[in-house]
Amino acid sequence: MSAKAKTHRASAKRLRITRTGKVVAHKAFKSHLLSHKSRKRKRNLRKQMTLAPAAVRNINKILPHG
């Protein structure tokens, strides 16, 4: 009998897996040093992004029940 696969809780709070299997995450670089970034750049950082397929392979190991 093998051990149960455990979910990496920190990743589960930051990432979301869509019904089609894509991984959605928030963009980085929006936490500080915002004064020199343009309004357009900060607005675009609010949006979510889908991660690259190479990253999704690793995330499927971290989030087995996604």
Beta-carbon contacts of 12 under 8 Å, excluding residues fewer than 6 positions away, are 63, 66
> With 80 as the cut, is the pLDDT of residue 66 above it?
no
Residue 57 main-chain phi, psi, to 5 deg: -60, -45
**22-48 mean pLDDT:** 96
Q: In the chain, what are the domains? A: 9-62 (4.10.410.60)
pLDDT in tens, 45-64: 999 999 999 999 999 999 99
pTM value is 0.77
**8-34 mean pLDDT:** 95
Within 13 Å, how many C-alpha atoms sit on residue 46's CB side? 5
